[in-house]
Structures are given as C-alpha cells and as structure tokens.
Amino acid sequence: MLIAQLSDLHVCPHGMLYHGVVDSNGALVDAIDHLLAMDRRPDLVLLTGDLVDEGRPEEYEYLREILLRLTIPFLLIPGNHDDRENLRTAFSDHRYLPAHGPLHYCVDDHPVRIIGLDSTVPGSHHGHVDPDGLTWLADTLAANTTKPTLLMLHHPPIVSGIDVMDQYRYVDGAGLRAVVERVGNVEIVLCGHVHRSMLTRWADTVLCACPSTVTEIDLRLSAGASPSSHAGPRGCMLHLWNERHGLVSHTSQIGVFDGPYPFV
C-alpha cells in the first residue's frame, strides 16, 4: 500500500495569496498533479492539517473545489489554522469524521490502520489533546494491538529546535507519549505544522513531520532567531507499506527539475 501525505496547504479564498505573496491554491494543484503523475499512484492521501489559512467557510468551499482534482481517496485532520466546526460542516460527507466534539477517528479499511487525532485547541495555535481524547486513543489502540497502525496529528509533540515553532508545538506531550508507548504496533506518527521534513525517535516508534505544499519554514536554530520562510522547496511524503518489509517513508519534492538522466 502506498500512502501519500500532504500538509499545511493553507488554501485561501479564490484569487488571494498566502500572506499576500505565495499562491497556496496553485501550489495545492501542483501537489495533486505531482501525486497523479507518479509511476505508482498512491492508494490513499492523508491531509495533516492547516488545510486552509483562516478557517473560513469560503476557504473550505474552495478547498473542496480544488480537491475534486484529487481522484484518490483521502482522509483529513485539522490544524491550528483550521476551524473545527467549519471543517466538519464542509466535509460532512466524510462519514469517518465524528458529528460532535474533536475530530478523532479510526479508519480500519486498509492493510494499515489509520488513526486521526485532533490536536487543535480552538482559539489557540499550540496543540494538545485533553484527557477524554487520550482515553479515546488508548481504547482505540487497545482494540487491536497487532495490526500495523499509523497515527497522525497536526502538532509534533516534541521540541524541534526552531524556537518560533516550539512556542506553538503540542504542549505537555507526556500523556500522549505514555498512551502510544503502551502498544507496540504504531509504525509511525505523522505530523505537519513545521513546514519541513523532520524525523525523530519518539514513544518507542518513529515520528515524522511532512513538508508544506506551500512554503518551507527556515531552519534557524539560534536561540531567539527571527522567523522566516521561503517559497520552497515544497514537498510531500510517501509512506510505502509492505507486509514483509514494513513501512518505508520518502520525501518527494514538488517541482520541475533537470533530468531525467540515464543513471542512478
């Protein structure tokens, strides 16, 4: 099974630019075309938050219009730029999304079980899951402790080293970590939020952050460094599951580059 991950789309109302400078809507079209042109088309696409820029109904309306181009099944979770209720309303036909409360869900229709965890805190930009959400996750994981499982949430529950992003990370991640550590079948934890690739060991598994389809937040590791971003490189993740060999994840850059050349 091949699972693609797109993150931090920041779709704006039709004709508007992200922060007034970047065409995030056109960038999403490019990302979708990138997936559709692959030599092996993904079986499923995961959209890991910040689907739109300000959580407005008209942004979700345009997001849905762009996603008509994506002829691959997809699952989504919210990020800190999303509005939970507007998202729920816009995607009411996505039956895996609960009708009330946080948008936690489990989809068990594939060789890999997919768990979506809503780490948004309405009105804030940091991430967290309340005790009820952690209980839901613990019960969901305990229901099957052998099937390979992929957990996705928007906010990485770790310190990245980028000060400006760590102010808005998933805070107090010890509770979440304890829940994930209880089981041994979480193959990977997928996040967005940081607008760049990032990889670490966490909770006895692997945590991986996905690039944004729009901008890359600059890797500025000095304490107190001013925030900055570039309009690229843009990318997505590809997670290849094989029953015999397990899960392998690849970063795939979106764009036009010289080549192909007849060598490896």
Give the domains, in start order, of the chain with CATH numbers. 2-254 (3.60.21.10)
Alpha helices (H) in 93-217, listed in sequence order: 131-142, 163-166, 174-181
How much is the pLDDT for 224? 87
Contact status, residue 7 vs residue 49, Cβ threshold 8 Å: yes
Low-confidence ranges of the chain (pLDDT < 70): none
- How many Cα atoms within 13 Å fall on the side-chain side of residue 88? 13
Angle between helices 174-181 and 131-142 (to 10 degrees): 10
Placement of tokens 């036009």 in the chain? 256
- Whole-number pLDDT of residue 23: 97
Q: What is the pLDDT of residue 157?
A: 97
Pairing of strands 234-242, 229-230: unpaired
Query: pLDDT value at position 232?
Result: 85
Q: pTM higher than 0.75, yes or no?
A: yes
Kindly state the helix (H) or strand (E) to which residue 107 belongs, with its residue range.
strand 105-107
